[in-house]
Copies of this chain bind each other. A is one copy, B any other.
Amino acid sequence: MTATDLAVGPGALELRWADGTTSHYPYIWLRDNCPSGLHPDTMERLLDLMSIDPEPKPRAARLEEGAAVVEWAGEGHVSRFPLDWLQGHRPGRPVEDPADIAPELWRGGLGAEGIPRHRADDILAGDGALLAWMTDTARLGLSIVEGVAATPEATVALAERIGFLRRTNFGTTFEVVNRPDPNNLAYTAEHLPLHTDLPNQEVPPGYQFLHCIANEAEGGGSIFADGFAIAEDLRVEDPDAFALLSSVPIPFRFHDAETDIRVRRPVVTLDDGGRLAEIRYNAHIAAAFDMPADIMAGYYRAYRAYMERTRRQDYVVSLKLNAGEMVVFDNRRILHGRERFDPNTGYRHLHGCYVDRGEFASRLRVLARA
């Protein structure tokens, strides 16, 4: 969009755009962001803010072909701001972010058949398929990749198309098999109710990749629910419960011989705008609640209201993963679990890893450049 008019206001440059809107650009902000102040190699800001007049004033300003040009009083410096850049950086509006994909909430009606499916070969071969897969995964929080070679390396190769792996106290990758001496319920054959992984970490792992290498035992189906959908329904149906869950921190803790990892955080984390940012829900590693006794009963009621919804079939999608399939989900939104299985009837082996939200978003932005 082009600018039709420019005015030197008392504290800000005023630009009128072709659509009739006007934007105000405070002078100190313009001077601080003069393109001449960036390092030519690193594009980082080199200009020292303390070296310039804290209240810079233009001597003159004008529109030129595709740019607004400001001549600064005193120092005589001239700044040239591309109009495209000014339009993308209107104060009060965060810069557009290609990684901002609005979550599309789902409930049990999605069905296993509603989970988006993508092909491993395509994702490995082309950035278009990678972007399509990532976009679906970000939108629904959940996707399935088909045709994955039955090796641990194949899990990692797909995850690394997005970014490097998040290491945790369970390693950089992990094997979900029943073990004789488990330090975690996942490593048993027990029913594993819906939960998010590692809410006891300052930042729980972002996207989780669970690649099914073998699933021959009886039982062992996978279950999923959209933790955001449950929270949004609670916000409407039981606002008191939602208020407690999104404000009162509870302690989460995992400890074994080598580690003792704890945080205190609410079950529901909202962003500055009140939108859902994160769910931490894991009955197994929630430690003893530590809120004051007088709000304890109310908190339990709220917590049970969330938990009760995780058991309702109208929120849950079930499927039995086949060898060669990999399920991918946003571990800070989607609850996952597993039905009990009988280890005497066959082998069950999932290979897993995580890529954090930061790496995921970075890849989306880089792919959007193309």
Interface residues of A (CB under 8 A from B): 11-12, 23-26, 28-29, 32-33, 39, 41-46, 48-50, 54, 89, 91-95, 97, 164, 167, 169, 181-185, 188, 193, 201-203, 249, 251, 255, 258-264, 272, 283-293, 296-297, 300-301, 303-304, 307-308, 311, 356-358, 361-362, 365-366
Contacts and interface: CB of A to CB of B under 8 A. Distances in A.
B92 A26 contact: no
A303 B184 contact: no
The 10 A-B residue pairs with the shortest CB-CB distance in the complex, in nearest-first order: A260-B365, A92-B292, A44-B284, A24-B293, A91-B293, A26-B296, A28-B300, A259-B362, A33-B288, A261-B362
A168 to B, nearest CB: 9
Contact of A284 (B45, B95, B301): B45
Contacts of A261: 358, 361-362
B92 A50 contact: no
Contacts of A185: 39, 42, 44, 46
Q: How many copies altogether? A: 2
Contacts of A23: 293
A362 B29 contact: no
Contacts of A29: 288-289, 293, 296, 300
A31 to B, nearest CB: 10
Contact residues of A: prevailing secondary structure: loop
B202 A258 contact: no
Interface centre among A33, A182, A262 (most CB of B within 10 A): A262
A349 B69 CA distance: 43
Contacts of A259: 362, 366
Contacts of A287: 95
A50 B201 contact: no
A202 B358 CA distance: 7
Contact of A292 (B46, B91, B284): B91
A251 B44 CA distance: 13
Contact of A95 (B43, B258, B290, B358): B290
Given A202-B203, A260-B362, 5 more contacts: A41-B188, A42-B185, A44-B185, A50-B304, A91-B292
18 contacts: A23-B293, A26-B297, A32-B288, A39-B185, A45-B286, A46-B284, A48-B283, A49-B304, A50-B307, A89-B290, A91-B290, A92-B290, A92-B292, A202-B357, A202-B358, A255-B365, A259-B362, A260-B366
A286 B29 CA distance: 13
Contacts of A32: 288-289, 300
A333 B68 CA distance: 39
A114 B283 CA distance: 46
